[in-house]
Amino acid sequence: MIRRRVSVVLAGLLGLLGLLGLLVPAGCGGGEVVGPERIADLRAQGVAPDLLFVVNLPGYRLAERTMSVYGEEGLQAYYAAPGGRQVWFGVERGDFSDALCPERPVHDAEWLAGPVGCDADELGWYRVSGDRHEYAAAGEGHVIRLSGRMADVDRAALAEAMSEIHRIGPGDSEGARV
């Protein structure tokens, strides 16, 4: 009986700590920390180890439970902020270029066939379609995109986050910058 009560109390404390972890804002400049159990779960879903990335988006917190496989072996997740604001983050195999920029839809744009405005800079391509905008950056065999409604996040915040992309996973204890 005592052992059962201790288990119930411990489970309650772990649940409370988990909730508190969701409410504590991410540290400035340190990026998001994703635990080994979550990384193992993502790998089990089919996310390729070389496509495990996160960003540090000031004022937003990684909604870790939204992390999932994207496409065949990519990764997607949402970052959330007070007031219901959210930003989508995705990594997938592929390439990106000036020619592909206007042809590829902006994530979650209302009118997928709508025009896409492109502005290349040192971070990649800043893209706009309807009320959504995103940054896309080409890596070695992969594309990283960060997208949201213009009312939820401004270009400067997207740009800052794209400059702070970190790889996560075994061997990346400090979240190596990519």
Looking at every residue in the chain, the average pLDDT score rounds to 81
For the chain, what percent of residues have pLDDT higher than 70? 75
Give the residues across from 134 on adjacent strands.
127, 147
Digit-coded pLDDT (tens) for 34-75: 889 999 999 999 999 999 999 999 999 999 999 999 999 999
Which domains occur in the chain, in start order? 30-167 (3.40.1000)
* Displacement of CA 154 from its chain's centroid (Å): 16
Determine the pLDDT at residue 49: 95
Distance, in Å, from the CA atom of 4 to the CA atom of 150, rounded to the nearest integer, reads: 51
